[in-house]
Amino acid sequence: MLLGAIADDFTGATDLCSMLVRGGMRTVQLIGVPGPNDPVSDADAVVVALKSRTAPMREAVDQSLAALHWLRAGGAKQFFFKYCSTFDSTEKGNIGPVADALIEALGCGFALACPAFPTNARTVYLGHLFVGGVLLNESGMEHHPLTPMTDANLVRVLSRQTEGTVGLVPFSTVEQGAQAIRRGMTGLKEQGRRYAIVDAVTDAHLLAIGEAAEHHALLTGGSGVALGLPANFRRAGLLHEAGDPASLPAVTGHTAVLSGSCSRATLMQLGRARESLPVYELDPLATPDAAALAKGALDWAEGKLGMVPVVIAASAPPDRVAAVQARFGREAAGALIEDAMARIAAGLVAGGVRRMVVAGGETSGAAVARLGVRSLRIGPEIDPGVPWTLAEGSGPSVMMALKSGNFGAPDFFTKAFAMLEG
């Protein structure tokens, strides 16, 4: 293992994995902190996906340290703490406290912090985070229900979350390339700063930052700043490329789509799927019981399972979601449907499904937990940020594509399976 990463949420972990695979590293995503006796995956990079972004601070720190301990024992040569490219956190954390704990455990005294991801229009200029053309605190993130971001100045934001001090490697230095950035970071470290926010507006900046941090024990940031890391390992002669890093063993079996996302992109994808695939819709108002909802869907699917994917959807437009939420309450409605979808996932696998697309972050989390999945080997990308993966755990191995609601092109569901045939 060359790179050991700790991600503060599930889809963020997958995003980082995809970036590393694109860079030529064979990558595995683990779900939660592995047990002390869990085998170390045969991979160049291992990303431990936590649910620590909004967890109580102590819990987030403890989980992150446990992950670090495991990755260290597994032989990782460098560590990465992955958080959101919009720096999702509160005044108290968890980015600062987790990074502080990792720095202390590694004894490195310093880490860079760079959430920039220009491909997704997240850029950092003079320490200020922009989303598209606007400052973070005017991007809608100021209204986030859990982590409202009301200050775009990351030097200030991170300073409030850490006992250490925070400096800046500004654009003018970053423009000069890796050596200048390295000198900038060394200077800050020598002044006693614990962190450097590093400006980045283009992928070229991210590549230079990655090169400058070649010998850092720990990097922190969005998946963008990992762009330059595979090249470091390659230059050092550590990355031995044997074949396609995204190749997965062939898995045969029935195919299915489970959709619990109500995001606009997913609703469009479902509309497109209806033109060519059999679609079943759950009706939680008529059947407000997870087991009964699941039974209805699985009865419908029986006899239809095969190479043409069946599509089972809870997804609904805003007015229908509002009606369901008005009846059961927002959280109970979500929990009811997630429970039903998880049961359906298990029923489909029991019925021989081995290739499955799941739409929705929470829905994916529920399905993966129910299936006892412990690791995802990252395969080829279907659309940006959504790869096919080989899910392994307590049950049979299943090819899974776990799609965050708003990701993917309109033909995502058919395209995903066509790719496996090709």
Q: Which parts of this chain interact with ligand ADP (CB under 6 A)?
A: 260-263, 266, 284, 314-316, 320-321, 324-325, 333-334, 337-338, 360-363, 404-405
| Buried b or exposed e, range 71-104, using 16+ CB within 10 angstroms | beebebebbbbbbbbbbbbbeebbbbbbbbbbbe
Place of tokens 């000069």: 176
Closest approach of ligand ADP to the CB of residue 258, in Å: 10
The closest residue (CB) to ligand ADP is 405
Q: Smaller CB distance to ligand ADP: residue 106 or 369?
A: 369
Closest approach of ligand ADP to the CB of residue 26, in Å: 27
Dump strand ranges (E) for 156-243.
166-169, 195-198, 218-221
Q: Smaller CB distance to ligand ADP: residue 151 or 362?
A: 362
Instruction: Supply the DSSP string of 232-252, one letter for each residue.
Output: HHHHTT-----S-TT------
Closest approach of ligand ADP to the CB of residue 27, in Å: 22
Q: Smaller CB distance to ligand ADP: residue 200 or 342?
A: 342
Q: Smaller CB distance to ligand ADP: residue 224 or 360?
A: 360
Q: Smaller CB distance to ligand ADP: residue 44 or 338?
A: 338
How large is the angle between the packed helices 178-190 and 203-212, nearest 10 degrees? 50
Q: Smaller CB distance to ligand ADP: residue 125 or 328?
A: 328
Closest approach of ligand ADP to the CB of residue 324, in Å: 4
Peptide bond into 94 cis (omega under 30): yes
C-alpha gyration radius of the chain: 22
Closest approach of ligand ADP to the CB of residue 371, in Å: 16
Closest approach of ligand ADP to the CB of residue 365, in Å: 8
Query: d(Cα 384, Cα 387) in Å, to the nearest integer?
Result: 8
Closest approach of ligand ADP to the CB of residue 165, in Å: 37
Closest approach of ligand ADP to the CB of residue 128, in Å: 28
CB atoms within 10 A of CB 18: 23
Q: Smaller CB distance to ligand ADP: residue 78 or 389?
A: 389
β-bridge mates for residue 100, sequence order? none
Q: Smaller CB distance to ligand ADP: residue 272 or 320?
A: 320
Query: d(Cα 271, Cα 413) in Å, to the nearest integer?
Result: 10
Q: Which amino acid is at 83?
A: Y
Q: Which amino acid is at 115?
A: P
The CA dihedral of 79, 83, 84, 88, to the nearest 10 degrees, is -160
Contact 356, 257 (CB under 8 A): yes
